[in-house]
Amino acid sequence: MSIDLTDEQKAFTEAVDDFCRREAGTREQRGDSPHHPGLYRRMADLGWLGVTVPEEYGGSGAGMVDTCLFLEHAAYGQAPVGGFTTSAIVAAAVQRCGSHEQKKTVLGGLVDGRVYAIAMSEPEAGSDVANLSCRAVRTGDGWIVDGQKTWCSNAHIADTVLLVARTGGSPGDHHGLTMLLVPADAPGLRINGIATMGGREVNDLYLTGVRLPADAVVGAVGEGWRQLMAGLNTERLILAAVMLGTAQRAFDDALDFIRQRRQFGRPVGSFQALRHRVADLATEIECCRLLVHRVATLVDRDPLRVLPRESSMVKLKTTEVARQVALAGMQMMGGYGYATEYDMERHVRATLISTVYGGTSEIQREIIGKTYGL
């Protein structure tokens, strides 16, 4: 690895690697689901889920560099703790904008092993998030929410969903959006799994007359868009770090295979066609690692500075490289890469969609291009 880590960071990543080898090293241990409540609980007990959480709320108060190291190594170790990604994104939003009470509940909840989900997307509001129409209307003592959300990762295992709803303006307006905390068991909220090639980790949410107290609002009423923008660094780095770990895993799995597999009397990895491909993929992964580390370092240096160019670059590059590595890994493994007996087909499925969620590659390119005044 090309990044200089402190002794503490080395010890931390070694502990995560060791845990993953021991506790999630086999298919039987990992199970079929991307989220294993027992292993998540064990990680909570080890204090790792609170890596992003300030000490006053029970976490270790580490920065984005450490958080990215945790995510990268947990993904590399194939730890089935998929619920952590959205939980960390929600916790970061609450940490930035929430009240002390909300921080105690949500940040403390993450440390204790609870899962959180975030619901922005709607059937008519995907890349165009501001087009959302799910509406929260003020009542005497709180809010009533009606509408539909879609593609909400982990809502079916979540304690609470961070909902972005319209409290003013019309679909298309950036103003008039508000963040609200909705308990997953709130009367009037129905959560339906969506069948996908990756399983059933995403959900449609139907909200019919869901009543929320006044203090469900996170941050300021009508300021949801600004609050979402302020969270871009964190959200994109989190997704990037997971894909960096997944890319490295797919690479190492492919390398192991092509060293062993013999055709024409020699290991297939010794053919120049594969050797050069390995060289290209290794170089791309190293570029991603440096970029993740660089952007995380910038965020730690000044957590309030929004980095639209850098955070889009890190999400764009790592997700596209992860997909490239997994597809190349499958090709290099021949038919075996396609068999469910090996993990490569899972890496392919996991990486294929990473260029879509959290803002598609096209949208990331739009954002980067605009930062050059175009």
Ligand X SMILES: Cc1cc2nc3c(=O)[nH]c(=O)nc-3n(C[C@H](O)[C@H](O)[C@H](O)COP(=O)(O)OP(=O)(O)OC[C@H]3O[C@@H](n4cnc5c(N)ncnc54)[C@H](O)[C@@H]3O)c2cc1C
Give contact residues for ligand X (rule: CB under 6 A).
86, 118-121, 126-127, 151-153, 202, 353, 356-360, 362-363, 366
- Residue from 328, 311, 330, 319 nearest 354 by CA: 319
Task: Check if 201 is active-site.
Answer: no
| Residue 224 or 269 with smaller CB distance to ligand X | 224
Smallest separation, CB 335 to ligand X (Å):
27
CB of 310 to ligand X, least distance (A): 20
**Which residue is closest to ligand X by CB?**
126
Least distance in Å: CB of 40 to ligand X?
17
3-class secondary structure for the chain?
A: CCCCCCHHHHHHHHHHHHHHHHHHCCHHHHCCCCECHHHHHHHHHCCCCCCCCCHHHCCCCCCHHHHHHHHHHHHHCCCCECHHHHHHHHHHHHHHHCCHHHHHHHHHHHHCCCCEEEECCECCECCCHHHCCCEEEECCCEEEEEEEEEEEECHHHCCEEEEEEECCCCCCCCCCEEEEEEECCCCCEEEEEEEECCEEEEEEEEEEEEEEEHHHEECCCCEHHHHHHHCHHHHHHHHHHHHHHHHHHHHHHHHHHHHHCEECCEEHHHCHHHHHHHHHHHHHHHHHHHHHHHHHHHHHHCCCCCCHHHHHHHHHHHHHHHHHHHHHHHHHCHHHHHCCCCCHHHHHHHHHHHHCCCCCHHHHHHHHHHCCCC
Nearest-approach distance from CB 157 to ligand X, in angstroms: 12
Between 66 and 345, CB nearer to ligand X: 345
The nearest distance, CB 125 to ligand X, in angstroms, is 7
Query: What's the min distance (Å) between Cβ of 98 and ligand X?
Result: 18
Catalytic residue among 72, 235, 284, 320: 235
Residues identified as active-site: 235
